[in-house]
Amino acid sequence: MTEDTPKTPQKFDFKDIETLQRYLNSQGKLYSAKRTGLSARQQRQLKRAVKYARTLALLPYAN
């Protein structure tokens, strides 16, 4: 990883919108685990955090 590339967090927090948005495309859909390079466990944590953030209206639903 280069210095300017942000590291993958250990846990995904639904309140950390900037981090969550790095894993969403322009339509608000999650990128695949293959593209993000996350493990299956991290991908599930990300999915839950994004869903909860959408429920609380912190992130928009996919268009």
Domain range list for the chain: 17-56
Work out the burial of residue 23: count CB atoms within 10 Å of its CB; fewer than 13 is exposed, 13-18 middle, 19 or more buried: buried
- d(CA 12, CA 27) in angstroms, rounded, equals 20
Which residues is 17 bridged to in the sheet?
Answer: none
- d(CA 19, CA 22) in angstroms, rounded, equals 5
Task: Kindly report the pTM of this predicted structure.
Answer: 0.82
- Give residue 8's pLDDT: 76
- Give residue 5's pLDDT: 54
- Give residue 10's pLDDT: 80
**Block mean pLDDT (10 aa), the chain, length 63:** 61 93 94 94 96 95 77
- Give residue 3's pLDDT: 52
Give 13's Cβ-side CA count (13 Å radius). Answer: 6
- Give residue 4's pLDDT: 53
